[in-house]
Amino acid sequence: MFRPTTTLGACLALGGLVQAQDQLHHLSDPLLNEAFGSSVCALGDVDGDGATDFAVGDYGSPAGTGGVVAYSGVDAGELYRLASATSVSGFGFAMASVDDLDGDGVPDLAVSAPAGALSLAPNATIDFFSGATGAPLPLVITGDKNAAFGSSLVSIPDVDGDGLRDLAVGSPADSSSALEAGAVRVFSTNTGAELYHVYGNNPGELLGKSLAMVGDLNNDGVDEYLAGAPGGEYALAIPYNLGLPWTITPGSPARDFGWSVAGLGDLDNDGVADYAIGAPADAAGPFQAGNVRVYSGQTSTVLYTLLGDFDGDRFGTSVCNAGDVNNDGVDDVAVGATLEYSGSFFPAGLARISSGVDGSYIYSAIGGGTGALFGACLADLGDVDGDTRRDLLVGSPGRDEAFVISRGRSVGTAFCFGDGSGAACPCANFGASGEGCASSMGYGSSLLALGSDFVSDDFLVLMAISARPNMPGLFLQGASQIETPFKDGLLCMGNPTERLQVVFTDAEGTAISTASIVTEGNVTAGDTRYYQYWFRDAGGVSPCGTGSNFSSAVEINWF
C-alpha cells in the first residue's frame, strides 16, 4: 500500500540537506552542472593534513566531456581539477583510489570515461592521475566504448607480482560471450596490460555493473571481490588471482539484484568479512521499493535484509561500508535510495545508515528537492573533522550537488509497535512492524527522531508519519517507558510527562515538530526520555471508536 509521506526536506533544508546540524560540507561547481555528484571517491590523505580527502565527478559537464574535482577533507577546499586528455565523453563516470604509481608516497586516482556508442571518442578510457597534484600520469587504459567499459572500478590486490595493486574494470554491456552479458577485465596498473577477464554467461546479464573488494571469504588466503550482474540477478565472488569464482543469488527473483555491492567487514564476528548486495527494483516489501541483502561471508546466508520504505524508492541504488557509526565495535551499512519520496509526492532521494549487527535504523539524510537523486553514490570518509563522528560523502546529481554528512551516534531507538510483538492493540487494530496500532486509515503511525541527541546542539526534530491527515496532534515526552492500551493505540511513555508541542498533520498525515525539544522537555545531558505523537482520529470512524490514537515511540539517550 502506498502511504504518502512528508520529510523534513521541504521544511528544514539548508543547501539541499535535511539535517542542517549534520551537514559538514555542501559542494557544487559552476562549471560542472550536468551531473555533478554522479560519482564520489575517498582518496586517502593526499594533502598530508591527516584527514581523508575526496573527489566528486560529473560525467556530463562541460558539454558531455566530464570532469572531476578533488577536495580537502578538512575544509572542502578545492585541491585540483581533473579532465581527460584522451576522451571526449563521459569522463568522471567512475573513480577508484589506486596504489602510489608515481612514487611520491601518496595514493593515486583512476578515472573512467565509458564514452558510449554515440560518442565521437574512438574508445572508452581510464586515465590515471597523481593523487598529490592531479597531474596526469602516463598510463592510459582503453576499452570498447560500445561495452560501457569503465562503468565501475575497484582496486584489487597485486595480480602480476610487480608490487602494485591492480585494477578491475566493469564492462556491463560487453558482448564477448553473449549480447550484453557483461564482463570484468583486470589490468596491471604498472603496464596497463590486461591480466584476465571474466565474462557473463547469458544475454542481458550486465556483469560488471558494480564492483567492490570484500576480503578472504573462503579462508584460502586469497581475497575476493564482488561483481554485480543485475540483469541476471546475481553477483560473482571472484578470487583476485582468478581462482574459481562462485555465484551469489537472492534465492528468489529479485529485480536488479547486483546493481550495487559492498564489502562490510566482519559483522557477525566469525572472522570472515561480510558483504551487501542491492536490488533497487525488488518488490520484497512495498512494490519495487528495493532492498539490500546483507550476507555472511563465511556461509553465504542472508544475515538480514534492509527494505525500502515506499513504492519505487530505488532503495539499494548504492551501498557502502559506513564504518562504525554507532560506536558498538561493528561497521555499519549505508544505503542510497535515489527516488525516496521527500517533501511532497515527488522523489528527492535518501541515504540511510543501519546497524551492521542487526540492520536496525541509525540515521538518515534526505535530499533537498524534487529530482535530487540524493544517494546516487556513497563513500565513507572516516572522521574528517575530528569530532569523533563518522563522515559520509553523498552524491546528489539531480541537483548537481554532493554533501559530506557528519553523523555519529544513533538518534533514538524505536519501540512500542502495534504489530502484536508487545502489548495487544485495544481492539485488535494491529499495525505493521515499526508502526503504532492501525487508525481509520488502515495502518499505524510511526515516529522518527532526526537531527542530534546532544543537548548542546539543541537540534532534535520529531516527525510523525502516516497519521490521520489534517488533524490536531500533540508531541509528548515521558520519563518512564510503559506499554499500555489507551484510546485506539498504545501509550508508551509514562510519568512524569511533558506536553511538547501541538502540531496539525498535513494532507499526507505528517506532523513535524518545530519547538526546541530540549527547552520544552527540560532535558539535560544524561537523561533518557521517551517520545510519542498523540493524534485525533474522528470519533465513530476510528477502529475502537475513541477518536484518537498514538504513533510508535522513540527512546532518546541524551548526551
Just give the CATH number of 413-557. Answer: 2.60.40
**Binning pLDDT at 50, 70 and 90, where does residue 7 land?**
very low
Question: What pLDDT score was predicted for residue 119?
Answer: 63
Contact 426, 545 (CB under 8 A): no
Close Cβ partners of 280 (under 8 Å, ≥ 6 residues apart): 256, 259, 260, 290, 308, 313, 314, 315, 316, 317, 337
Look over the chain and give the mean of its residue pLDDT values, rounded to a whole number.
Answer: 90
Could you give the angle at the alpha carbon of 324 between the alpha carbons of 320 and 326, nearest 5°?
A: 120
pLDDT for 408 equals 47
Residue 147: phi and psi, rounded to 5, are: -105, 10
pLDDT at res. 4: 26
Residue 395 has pLDDT above 70, yes or no: yes
Asked if the domains 1-30+250-407 and 413-557 are classified in one and the same CATH topology, the answer is: no
Interval 424-450 mean pLDDT: 92
How many DSSP H helices and E strands does the chain contain? 2, 37
The amino acid at residue 456 is S
Mean pLDDT of 324-340: 90
**pLDDT tens digits, residue range 523-556?**
999 999 999 999 999 866 899 999 999 999 999 9
64: left (phi over 0), alpha (psi -120 to 50) or beta: left
R_g of the chain computed on alpha carbons: 24
Task: Count other Cβ atoms within 10 Å, centred on residue 220.
Answer: 10
Sign of the torsion angle spanned by Cα atoms 126, 264, 404, 60: positive
pLDDT for residue 156: 98
pTM metric for this prediction: 0.75
**CATH class label, 1-30+250-407:** mainly beta
* Confidence band of 21 (pLDDT split at 50, 70, 90): very low
pLDDT of 477 higher than 60: yes
- Percent of the chain whose predicted confidence (pLDDT) is above 70: 92
pLDDT at 8: 31
Range in 127-131, 389-393, 478-482 the model is least confident about: 389-393
Q: Are 240 and 165 in contact (CB under 8 A)?
A: no
- Specify the DSSP class assigned to residue 558: -
- What pairs with residue 278 in β-bridges? 260, 292
The yes-or-no verdict on residue 508 having pLDDT over 80 is no
Which of 16-30, 265-279, 365-379 is predicted with the least confidence, judged by mean pLDDT? 16-30
Query: Is residue 5 very low, low, confident or very high in pLDDT (cuts 50, 70, 90)?
Result: very low
99-143 pLDDT per residue, tens: 999 999 999 999 999 976 556 677 899 999 999 999 999 999 999
The whole-number pLDDT of residue 16 equals: 39
Convert the pLDDT of each residue in 153-211 to its tens digit.
999 999 999 999 999 999 999 999 999 999 999 999 999 999 999 999 999 999 999 99
Mean pLDDT in residue range 359-367: 82
- What percent of the chain shows pLDDT beyond 90? 74
* pLDDT surpassing 50 at residue 465: yes
Closest to 350 in 3D by CA, of 333, 331, 363: 363
pLDDT for 343: 41
At 459 the pLDDT is: 73
- Residue 173: its pLDDT value, please? 97
Q: How far apart are CA 54 and CA 61, in angstroms?
A: 19
Read off the pLDDT of residues 209-224 as tens digits, 9 standing for 90 and up: 999 999 999 999 999 9
Confidence at residue 344, expressed as pLDDT on a 0 to 100 scale: 41
pLDDT tens-digit map of 396-418: 999 999 999 986 444 788 999 99
pLDDT the model gives residue 286: 66
Quick one: pLDDT band at residue 285, thresholds 50, 70, 90?
A: low
Asked if residue 377 has pLDDT above 70, the reply is yes
Instruction: Tell me: pLDDT of 12 over 50.
Output: no
Predicted pLDDT of residue 61:
82
Strand partners of residue 379: 393
Question: What is the average per-residue pLDDT within 379-394?
Answer: 87
Whether residue 10 has pLDDT greater than 50: no
Q: Where are the domains of the chain?
A: 1-30+250-407, 413-557
Q: Which three cell numbers stand for residue 356?
A: 551492521
**Burial of 350 from C-beta contacts in 10 A (0-12 / 13-18 / 19+):** buried
Is 43's pLDDT higher than 50? yes
Residue 226 reports pLDDT greater than 80: yes
